[in-house]
Amino acid sequence: MNGPVPPIWTTGNTEVFKTGSWRAALPRHIRAPSPCHAACPVGGEIAEWIGLARARDFHGAWQVLTRHNPFPAIAGRICHHPCEAACNRAGFDESLSICKLERFVGDVALAEGWAFERPAAERGERVAVVGGGPSGLSAAYQLRRRGYRVTLFESQPALGGLMRYGIPPYRLARSVLDGEIARIVALGVEVRCGEPLASSADLEGLRREFDALYLATGARRQKRLPQLDYAQPWVMDGAAYLARASVGEAPALGRRIVVIGGGSAAFDAARSARRAGHEVTVVALEGVAELPAQREEINEALEEGVVLVAGSMLTAVSPLPARERGGGEGGLRLDFVRVRFEAGVRRGQFTVTPRPDSEFALVADAIVPSIGQDPDLAPLSGLDADGGLLKVDARLSTSAEHVYAGGDLASMDRFVTEAVGMGQRAAVAIDRALRGASGEPGDAEPTVKLGSIATAYYPTQARPAEQRLDAAQRTGGDAEVQLGLELEQALAESERCFSCGTCVFCDNCVNYCPDLAVKRGADGYVVLTDYCKGCGLCVKECPTGSMKMEEEAR
């Protein structure tokens, strides 16, 4: 329409031919959520920050990452990464290594000493956050960024919660943990360690002193096996063992240890015990395919010499007869039966059915049960509970005004990043309540599916292979097992991202339109309705799924 006018035309240009009346559907330029964003526990804008990393703007990528999660280097090491299972690339070749990319950006930030900006304006309201684990720290961070005066109460001597006292250093280096926590504190968060919430009177005192509360005291009351006498010196709960092992004080428990449980904490205890020099067997109710621990944790444990006995239940424990001890060494006989495990409707619910004639026994010097924890609700007796958890609504509000709760205290989704996401959502809810804001967010676009991506623009390329410290080197210390990406690996992996629903302004929609009906504007692309015939070429050639056809009713 803007080129030289053919001499045989009498109209002067083609703009008089408004062919848009021919169409039945109209394309629209959109910004839509990627499936990885929808699956992310913190609602991270994954396509956006990966795009910035692809352009080598790592500081910009870190800033986008930390809008929702102040722990990219931590999450990049320990997140259960549901985003990768949802990744559209999985239907093309292999899912993107999002977690490793996040770790890379987080590690760059720590190496460069990047800090969070102080809030632009201070508010007068005071908010107490009770619990210095991932959920409490996340809430404190989000509230402080919004200008609130935040006081963080923690019962332990140091902040970190599960990340410090439950996750071993070989999975999460303490320099990384300390560095990302220090950035939050540096925003101006008041920290008061060694101050537990011990009673309902303590809770009422905080309610009088502060304008709002966020409770994130975790789940520290250990579930117990009825077959075990926990008063015996040869029984040590898994959480207690991990708390000591994680600070370099693993207790001596004899040569042979049996860890009972199939979750991440059980495998962490087992692998920590291997590093302390023990022979370790893990016995789990679940079959191998149903184990709740992350698959890479299981594989790494097996590489390190941990023996796994799945689908089995402890039935009895008795002292080993003297004639079977050998050389006067003490010991225990553990009786088990093979079982069929069936998961229930809700997380944490299950049934087990013993298999006939499947009994067997193991010999051990100590037993480390690691079958989960429940919240201690005794200090919160004035608040409504629901099935052993503190009851909260969709905004994470409890039954008391301006008292919110999250993390393991209010959810069975026992993952660090789930707790971080709950802290973020609670901070947003507290902010809205204290400001008196109303209204709900509008409807979002549907998640972009693989069929909306023009995959012809992407060559097939495998994701980078997992890099781990050699198994022979692991058990001699606390060096991190999983290794990160190098710069060129990270850049290559960022190129694999489809940027689902996030426009990369490639101009394909402009260049392929036969009617010149798409124009690039300041904030995206505009479809000229007078000329678009609705052929859909702009949609078919979009490499990110950022153009969408919509039926027109006339």
User: 485 pLDDT exceeds 60?
Assistant: yes
What percent of the chain is predicted at pLDDT more than 70? 94
In this prediction, residue 554 has a pLDDT band, given cuts at 50, 70 and 90, of low
**Residue 342 bridge partners (DSSP):** 351
In this prediction, residue 4 has a pLDDT band, given cuts at 50, 70 and 90, of low
Q: How far apart are the C-alpha atoms of 318 and 364, rounded to whole Å?
A: 10
pLDDT recorded at residue 53: 98
Can you give the length of the chain in residues?
Answer: 554
What is the 3 state secondary structure string of 135-176? HHHHHHHHHHHCCCEEEEEECCCCCCCHHHHCCCCCCCCHHH
Instruction: Give backbone dihedrals phi and psi of 288, rounded to 5 degrees, phi first.
Output: -55, -45
pLDDT recorded at residue 343: 84
Q: Stretch 128-133: mean pLDDT, rounded?
A: 98
Instruction: Give backbone dihedrals phi and psi of 325, rounded to 5 degrees, phi first.
Output: -80, -35
Q: Which distant-in-sequence residues (6+ apart) come within 8 Å of 322 by Cβ?
A: none
242, 268 in Cβ contact below 8 A? yes
How buried is 429 (Cβ within 10 angstroms: 0-12 exposed, 13-18 middle, 19+ buried)?
buried
pLDDT recorded at residue 419: 97
Lowest mean pLDDT among 16-20, 228-232, 257-261, 325-329: 325-329
Q: How far apart are the C-alpha atoms of 364 and 281, rounded to whole Å?
A: 9
DSSP state of 6: P
DSSP-derived pairing of the beta strands 350-364 and 332-343 = antiparallel
Dihedral angle of Cα 119, 122, 124, 125, to the nearest 10 degrees: -10
Q: How far apart are the first and last CA of the chain?
A: 27
Place of tokens 């402009």: 510
Among 183, 115, 193, CA closest to 159: 193
Q: Stretch 36-53: mean pLDDT, rounded?
A: 97
pLDDT recorded at residue 479: 93
Q: Stretch 444-470: mean pLDDT, rounded?
A: 93
Lowest mean pLDDT among 132-141, 170-179, 221-230: 221-230
Lowest mean pLDDT among 87-91, 380-384, 438-442: 438-442
Spell out where 320-441 has E strands: 332-343, 350-364, 366-369, 373-374, 385-386, 389-390, 403-405
| Tens-place pLDDT, residues 92-130 | 999 999 999 999 999 999 999 999 999 999 999 999 999
254, 234 in Cβ contact below 8 A? yes
- Average pLDDT value for the chain: 92
Q: How far apart are the C-alpha atoms of 3 and 518, rounded to whole Å?
A: 16
Q: Which distant-in-sequence residues (6+ apart) come within 8 Å of 78 by Cβ?
A: 163, 167, 171, 172, 416
337, 354 in Cβ contact below 8 A? yes
User: 1 pLDDT exceeds 50?
Assistant: no
User: 8 pLDDT exceeds 80?
Assistant: no
In this prediction, residue 18 has a pLDDT band, given cuts at 50, 70 and 90, of confident
Spell out the long-range contacts of 43-49 with Cβ–Cβ below 8 A and sequence spacing 24 or more: 43/68, 43/421, 43/424, 44/68, 44/69, 44/83, 46/83, 46/98, 47/497, 47/498, 47/499, 47/500, 47/501, 47/502, 47/544, 48/502, 49/105
